[in-house]
Every structure is written in structure tokens, then in C-alpha cells.
Amino acid sequence: MKPQPRIKGFVLVIFSTMLWGVSGTVAQYLFQQKGFSPEWLVVIRLLISGIVLLSFATLRGNKNVRKIWSSKYTIFNLICFALIGMLGVQYTYFAAIKHGNAATATILQYLYPVIIIFYMTIRTKKAPSSKEIIAISLTILGTFLIITKGNVSTLSISKIALFWGVTSAFAAAFYTLQPVYLLARYDSITVVGWGMFIGGIGFSFIQKPWVSTGQWSVSSILAIIFVVLFGTLIAFCCYLESLKYIKPIEVSILSSIEPLSAAFLSVFWLHVNLGIFQWLGTACIIFAIIYLSFTKKAH
């Protein structure tokens, strides 16, 4: 690959993952300072993003937007992806932010590579390599340091925040593994667009999009626009575009910037207090993610 396209790819993936990290912190601001609910933000984010992505694909003449509904098996997989994967990962992540903070929620969600390793070990009946065991150990150590501050007698986050954070990791693992069949046959914009739209429609029966409880102001409106526009649409498009210029393994390594951006912004903007043990835990998990990425490259 030529240097210039590679630089473009690196910039795109760094920008997209930073947007995802910042989006989590902006969501925390909406939940904890403006009184908006995770349920409302999720349904608005999914519906608007899904409509925009599908409209964009349709205007470009993408025939997959309709073709994806031609098979009953495909429809079943798409609905599972939308309601369990897409909706699941979005809601559990925002719920973890609501009851904790964006930094901890993002870091706990990044346990999902470990979950994927355990799943693949059971499915393939092949034990993880020594490198994967080291990465798993680092992740477990990091999670322990984050939630206990190094003291087993206390938890630094509430039990409900821990529950939603770990659930978010399982949802992210499902989100990563389940749509393999769909992505092998249809483009990602079609799959993700329908996933967001169906997830939003399904969640509308629980949370009406037109009913919100938050404090409306210029800052809250700007924050909502940021989460929907930058934290979803632009971030997603930049992430996909980066795959044209650099290898997926490089994208995976650089995506570890997301928990860092969420952690730093939570500290400097929302004044969340992260102690030395939590920073050490963060470093362990980020190192494990990078280590797992290199492990995948070797396989």
C-alpha cells in the first residue's frame, strides 16, 4: 500500500473510534445532567440513523436494500441481529453509562474479545493459545482493578452499572459474531441500516420516540445531534471507509483508542474521578485488546 492512502486510513479509523468514545461521554452528560433516559436516546439514535443509512443506500441505487428481504432465513437472521445485536449493544451500553460513567462502561464493553475467544474455543473445541490466555488474564485483571479500585471489599461502581457493562460486552460479542452470514451476502450499510431501523421500530413499543423526560436546551439539543450525527452516522461511515486503505487487523488495533477517549473526556469534561488502580486497569484492558489483535494476525 502507498503511504498516502495508508495515512488516510489511519486518520479515518482514529477519527471514527474517537467519535464513538466521545459520544459515550456526551450521552453521560445527557443522562446525568439533563435527565434524558437511555431508552429515549437509543430509540432516537437507531431510528434516525437507520432511516438516513437506508435512504443513502437507496439513492445510490443499492438493490440490496430490498433484496435482503427475499429469503425467510435471511429475514430471521436480520431480525435477530437488529433486536438482540444492534438494539442490545446500544441499550446495554447506554444503561451502563446512565448508572455509572462513560469511561467504565466503554472499558467493560471491551471485554467482548475475551467472550468471543471463549465462544470460539467451545465451538471449535480448540484451546486458546498462550497469547490469548495472557490477553484474557490481562483483561480480567484490568476489570478487577476498575471495579474494585484494588480493594476486594468494595466496588468502585454500582452493581447495576457493573451488570449493564458486562451485559454490554456479551451484546457486543453477539453483534460481532451473529451477522457473519448477512455480511457475507450483503453490504454492511444495508445490514447495519436495516438493523438500526428494525431495532428502533421494535424498541418504539417500549419507549415512544416522541416522549422524552429530559431538560431541553441548546446544549442538550447539540448533544443529541452529536450522538446521532457524529457518534453514529459519521463514525460508522469513516470506520467503513478506513477499511479501503488499511488492513482490518490495523483497524482493530487502532479501535482501542475508543476507551481511552471516553476515559480522558470523562475526566477532563465531566470531572469523573478515576484513581490510579482504575487507570492501571484501563491500561491492562487496552493492552489486551492490542495483544489480541496481533494474535489474530498470526492465525
Q: Do the Cβ atoms of 156 and 278 come closer than 8 Å? A: yes
In the three-class reduction of DSSP (H, G, I as helix; E, B as strand; rest coil), residue 83 is classed as: helix
- Evaluated on CA atoms 212, 96, 176, 286, the torsion sign reads positive
pLDDT in tens, 72-86: 999 999 999 999 988
Instruction: Take residue 43 and report the three cell numbers written for it.
Output: 430509540
**Whole-number Cα distances in Å, 62 to 81, 202, 277, 288:** 20, 24, 49, 38
Higher pLDDT, 74 or 278: 74
Q: Do the Cβ atoms of 49 and 235 come closer than 8 Å? A: no
**Nearest by Cα to 242 from 228, 253, 231:** 253
Domain that holds residue 150: 3-298
Domains held by the chain: number? 1
pLDDT in tens, 199-253: 999 999 999 999 888 899 999 999 999 999 888 888 877 876 776 777 654 565 5
Residue with cell 471463549: 118
Q: CA-CA distance, 292 to 288, in Å (whole number)? A: 6
pLDDT in tens, 24-65: 888 888 988 999 999 999 999 999 999 999 999 999 889 999
Q: CA-CA distance, 250 to 290, in Å (whole number)? A: 10
Instruction: Take residue 11 and report the three cell numbers written for it.
Output: 486518520
**Three-point CA angle 266, 269, 270, nearest 5°:** 60
Tell me what the pLDDT averaged over the chain comes to.
81
Instruction: Take residue 122 and report the three cell numbers written for it.
Output: 467451545
Helix, strand, coil shares of the chain, percent, nearest 5, are 75, 0, 25
On the 0-12 / 13-18 / 19+ scale of CB atoms within 10 A, 177 is: middle
